[in-house]
């Protein structure tokens, strides 16, 4: 069942220096129980895309006229971008859609106990009295592997260690049983041993709850271990999309290949680290044609003039590159 | 190797006072605990560990940026031999130009109100290494070019630059006094992977060109595996293992190193990692466990591990490990 349908999402920001394009004509679907990774460098538009799903972008954001984000929830389909009132959005935020962030300290109010904050959210979104909400909160804390959950429930965020805090945030995000979870770099600030624990936990929870996850990260290793499908973003465009296996083991877009060549790999210590040449262009100076042509090693003349379309190469694997599509042949 | 190591630490400890005063009892936290380490000249020496392992404090101790509470610490190069614990005034000032630090966050490390030229020139002026403005400018331009900065950019302010360019400015600032020893503390952690590759290559090139010795502090084992020639692993203030990079990654001897390596997410979706997953978190350094510091999370801990602290032992030529059971646990 398709949980989320994003079509032609274009998102621009009005700034003093002019209108900049943060997300350009992006389309993707997410099935229930599926984890979709969104990868890209800083400034690629991955976080802005995710925030658009909950309309969390600042008020100077301008959405394209044919952009649509449709969320299938129990009550039926919701066209997120048509919700104009804050009140309508608030029902979705923390209810059918939850988000977890990189920095858990920023998600917890410093002067409210973790328990009170969880209870508040549950009572807002679900028809529960305080006692029931407390019970569910403590169960959730226990479920994410926090020992002595009843005691932690009464503590403040600063009293918990980093890994514990991340678990508590996941517990809070999942307590309302959201259909869609947006995870924005949830493991980036964690140590690698704690990261491994959180990744395992998230995999378990997907299996248990059957929700869909949009997983944003810059770490391709984390994506390989968590996601089913992945979309690679560059300067606001999705340039390649497919199963994790296809994209990482048989990358089609020159940018995806560039990212993989720049990555220090443990299975080949002799491989040189090759950066993608040049710098990511300023969003104020978006290149014409293919956005990547200024840094691309296989770019031809047409790449600077024409915009390549996402073309299906094979089972669920698609890529927006003239050269590569010709070489492989469209499916 | 007959040549003296550039940095040599013997039973080095660093304590921080966390509470206490006139009337209450002083409470100390031992951030670096009885560490023995030699950093050979010209090496790219990696130091890894989780947050709270003491890696940054050890790096700062080498720079004499924190007070050393116990043990010996020596620095030596072609010109001088310093006992860093005793170092005072004039000699300390001289040491500052021989040992430098590159920071993690290139956004926080650069003053927004100074031009790039002034940022790079400041150490020269503070240390009085150049006497005229022309001389300063020449030196700034020389090091900026080596760090692949566009010389046109020297008149601009840091806000105009991307993360990668800022990190090159930080590197130029650290290297302008011609140091021999450079501590790079998480210097690529805040960068995107492509820029990270670029900065790592730059550090390596500069090492060959300028004959530098690096202490490269990082939590990212894949980066360390690629760039360092020797790696030391820290846990709760202790050095638990130290070996040439290849050997450490091929045949780790300490259960903690083994667990760290297996926690790195593999790029192969079918490689689900192995069973050596660590439970729990690093204990608080204010209340470290008795015996081996790792025993609370170690799957192989036996009674002796809970009572006696293991010493760093040689297992091969340059491979050292601090574990009671290293010779029975893992095959080399």
**Structural domain boundaries of chain A?**
2-96+178-328, 106-177
Which of the listed CATH numbers 3.40.50.300, 3.30.565.10, 3.30.450.20, 3.40.50.2000 matches domain A2-96+178-328? 3.40.50.300
CB B69 within 8 A of CB B13: yes
**Residue B299 is assigned to a structural domain of this protein:** yes
**Residue B13 is assigned to a structural domain of this protein:** no
| Closest in B193, B268, B277 to A263, CB measured | B193
| Closest in A192, A245, A260 to B219, CB measured | A192
Mean pLDDT of A240-254: 95
Contact at CB, A264 and B223, closer than 8 angstroms: yes
Note which residues in 196-255 of chain B have CB less than 8 A from chain A.
196-198, 200-201, 219-223, 225-227, 245-246, 249
Residue B55, token pair as written in the block: 């890696």
C-alpha–C-alpha distance, residues B47 and B58, integer Å: 9
The torsion of the CA quartet A239, A241, A246, A247, rounded to 10 degrees, works out to 40
Mean pLDDT over each residue of chain A, to the nearest integer: 90
Instruction: Identify the contact set of chain A against chain B, taking CB-CB distances under 8 A.
Output: 41-42, 161-164, 191-197, 199-200, 218-222, 224-225, 244-245, 248-249, 258-260, 262-267, 269, 273-276, 279-280
Mean pLDDT of A42-64: 90
Look at A193 and A37; give whichever has higher pLDDT. A37
pLDDT score of B276 more than 70: no
pLDDT score of B297 more than 50: yes
Cα R_g (chain A), whole angstroms: 21
| Mutation site, B148, B165, B194, B278, interface A, largest A CB count within 10 A | B194
Note which residues in 20-59 of chain B have CB less than 8 A from chain A.
50-51
Residue B45 binned pLDDT confidence (cut-offs 50, 70, 90): very high
pLDDT digit string, tens, across residues B114-147: 999 999 999 999 999 999 999 999 999 999 999 9
Give the 3-state secondary structure of A127-173.
Answer: CCCHHHHHHHHHHHHHHCCCCCHHHHCCCCHHHCCHHHHHHHHHHHH
Q: Which of A7-11, B186-190, B288-292 has the lowest mean pLDDT?
A: B186-190
CB proximity list for A132: less than 8 A, separation 6 or greater: none
Closest-approach residue (CA) in chain A for B223: A264
| Closest in A164, A245, A258 to B194, CB measured | A258
| Mutation site, B193, B202, B225, interface A, largest A CB count within 10 A | B193
CB A94 within 8 A of CB A176: yes
Tokens 């992945």 belong to residue: A230
Name chain B contacts of A225, Cβ cutoff 8 Å: 265-266, 269, 272-273
| Mutation site, A44, A191, A233, A265, interface B, largest B CB count within 10 A | A191
> Three-class SS of residue B67?
coil
Name chain B contacts of A197, Cβ cutoff 8 Å: 277-279
**pLDDT given at position A105:** 78
**Buried b or exposed e, range B249-275, using 16+ CB within 10 angstroms:** bebbbbbbbbbbbbbbbbbebeeebee
| Closest in B200, B259, B281 to A273, CB measured | B200
**Residue B146 is assigned to a structural domain of this protein:** no
**pLDDT given at position B1:** 46
Tokens 């780790």 belong to residue: B252
| Closest in A41, A162, A196 to B277, CB measured | A196
**pLDDT given at position B40:** 95
Q: Which of A78-82, B196-200, B212-216, B291-295 has the lowest mean pLDDT?
A: A78-82
Closest-approach residue (CA) in chain B for A228: B269
Q: How far is the alpha carbon of A19 from chain B, nearest alpha carbon, in Å? A: 19
**Residue B276 is assigned to a structural domain of this protein:** yes
DSSP conformation class of A285: G
pLDDT digit string, tens, across residues A11-35: 999 988 888 999 999 999 999 999 9
**pLDDT given at position A59:** 87
Q: How far is the alpha carbon of B280 from chain A, nearest alpha carbon, in Å? A: 8
Listed residue (A64, A69, A67, A127) closest to A95, CA to CA: A127
**pLDDT given at position A283:** 82
Mean pLDDT of B178-190: 92
**pLDDT given at position B273:** 63
Mean pLDDT of B176-185: 96
DSSP conformation class of B116: H
CB proximity list for A174: less than 8 A, separation 6 or greater: A98, A140, A144, A181, A205, A209, A211
Name chain A contacts of B259, Cβ cutoff 8 Å: 193
**pLDDT given at position B233:** 97
| Closest in A224, A274, A275 to B268, CB measured | A224
DSSP conformation class of A329: -
Mean pLDDT of A212-226: 92
CB proximity list for A2: less than 8 A, separation 6 or greater: A29, A30, A31, A32, A72
| Mutation site, A199, A266, A297, interface B, largest B CB count within 10 A | A266
C-alpha–C-alpha distance, residues B137 and B120, integer Å: 10
**pLDDT given at position A187:** 85
CB B123 within 8 A of CB B177: yes
Dihedral of alpha carbons A126, A124, A100, A51, sign: positive
| Closest in B51, B246, B267 to A265, CB measured | B267
Residue B317, Cβ neighbours under 10 Å: how many? 8
Structure ipTM? 0.85
Contact at CB, A218 and B195, closer than 8 angstroms: no
pTM of the model: 0.89
Which class for B330: exposed (0-12), middle (13-18), buried (19 or more C-beta within 10 A)? Answer: middle
Total number of domains constituting chain B: 1
Residue A287, token pair as written in the block: 């290149």
Tell me whether strands A2-15 and A61-63 are parallel, antiparallel or unpaired: antiparallel
In angstroms, what CA-CA distances link B188 with B60, B164, B217? Answer: 18, 9, 10
Contact at CB, A41 and B192, closer than 8 angstroms: yes
Q: What range defines the domain where residue B269 resides?
A: 251-332
pLDDT digit string, tens, across residues A135-191: 999 999 988 888 889 999 999 999 888 888 888 998 998 888 889 999 998 888 788
**pLDDT given at position B332:** 53
User: What percentage of chain B reaches a pLDDT higher than 70?
Assistant: 97
Contact at CB, B51 and A267, closer than 8 angstroms: no
| Closest in B226, B269, B273 to A264, CB measured | B226
């Amino acid at each position: 069942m398709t949980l989320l349908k994003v079509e032609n999402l274009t998102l621009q920001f009005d700034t003093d220096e002019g209108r900049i394009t943060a997300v350009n004509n992006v389309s993707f679907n997410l099935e229930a129980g599926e984890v979709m990774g969104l990868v890209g460098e800083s400034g690629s538009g991955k976080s802005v895309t995710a925030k658009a799903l909950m309309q969390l972008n600042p008020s100077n954001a301008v959405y394209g006229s044919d952009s649509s984000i449709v969320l299938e929830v129990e009550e039926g389909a919701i066209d997120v971008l048509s919700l104009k009132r804050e009140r309508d959005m608030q029902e979705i935020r923390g209810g059918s859609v939850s988000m977890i962030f990189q920095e858990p300290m920023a998600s917890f109010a410093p002067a409210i106990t973790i328990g009170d904050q969880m209870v508040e959210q549950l009572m807002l979104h679900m028809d529960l009295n305080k006692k029931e909400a407390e019970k569910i909160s403590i169960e959730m804390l226990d479920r994410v592997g926090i020992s002595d959950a009843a005691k932690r429930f009464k503590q403040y965020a600063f009293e918990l260690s980093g890994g514990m805090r991340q678990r508590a945030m996941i517990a809070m995000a999942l307590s309302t049983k959201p259909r869609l979870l947006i995870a924005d770099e949830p493991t980036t600030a964690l140590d690698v041993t704690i990261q491994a624990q959180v990744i395992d936990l998230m995999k378990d929870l997907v299996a248990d709850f059957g929700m869909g996850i949009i997983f944003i990260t810059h770490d391709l290793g984390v994506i390989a271990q968590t996601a089913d499908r992945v979309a690679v973003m560059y300067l606001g465009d999705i340039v390649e999309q497919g199963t994790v296996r296809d994209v990482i083991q048989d990358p089609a877009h020159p940018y995806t290949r560039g990212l993989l060549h720049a990555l220090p790999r443990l299975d080949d210590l002799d491989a040189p680290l090759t950066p993608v040449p040049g710098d990511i262009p300023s969003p104020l100076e978006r290149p014409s044609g293919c956005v990547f042509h200024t840094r691309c090693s296989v770019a031809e003349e047409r790449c600077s003039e024409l915009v390549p379309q996402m073309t299906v190469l094979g089972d669920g694997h698609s890529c927006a590159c003239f050269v590569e599509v010709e070489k492989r042949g469209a499916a | 190797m007959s040549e003296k190591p550039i940095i040599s630490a013997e039973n080095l400890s660093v304590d921080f006072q966390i509470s206490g005063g006139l009337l209450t009892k002083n409470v100390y936290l031992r951030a670096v605990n009885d560490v023995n380490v030699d950093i050979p000249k010209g090496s790219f020496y990696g130091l890894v560990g989780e947050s709270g392992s003491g890696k940054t404090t050890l790096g700062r101790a080498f720079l004499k940026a924190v007070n050393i509470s116990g043990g010996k610490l020596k620095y030596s190069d072609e010109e001088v031999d310093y006992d860093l614990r005793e170092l005072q005034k004039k000699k300390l000032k001289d040491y500052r130009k021989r040992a430098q630090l590159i920071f993690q966050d290139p956004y926080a490390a650069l003053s927004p109100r100074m031009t790039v030229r002034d940022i790079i020139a400041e150490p020269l002026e503070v240390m009085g290494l150049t006497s005229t403005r022309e001389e300063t400018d020449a030196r700034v331009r020389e090091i900026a070019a080596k760090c692949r900065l566009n010389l046109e950019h020297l008149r601009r302010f840091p806000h105009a630059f991307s993360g990668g360019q800022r990190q090159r400015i930080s590197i130029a600032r650290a290297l302008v006094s011609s140091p021999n020893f450079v501590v790079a503390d998480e210097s690529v952690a805040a960068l995107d992977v492509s820029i990270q590759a670029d900065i790592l290559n730059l550090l390596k090139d500069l090492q060959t060109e300028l004959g530098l010795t690096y202490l490269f502090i990082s939590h990212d084992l894949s980066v360390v595996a690629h760039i360092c020639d020797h790696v030391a692993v820290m846990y709760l203030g202790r050095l638990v293992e130290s070996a040439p990079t290849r050997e450490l990654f091929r045949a780790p001897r300490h259960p903690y190193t083994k667990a760290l390596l297996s926690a790195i997410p593999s790029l192969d979706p079918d490689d689900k990692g192995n069973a050596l997953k660590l439970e729990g978190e690093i204990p608080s350094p204010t209340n470290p466990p008795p015996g081996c510091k790792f025993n609370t999370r170690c799957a192989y801990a036996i009674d002796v591990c809970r009572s006696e602290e293991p010493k760093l032992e040689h297992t091969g030529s340059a491979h050292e490990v601090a574990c009671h059971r290293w010779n029975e646990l893992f095959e080399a």
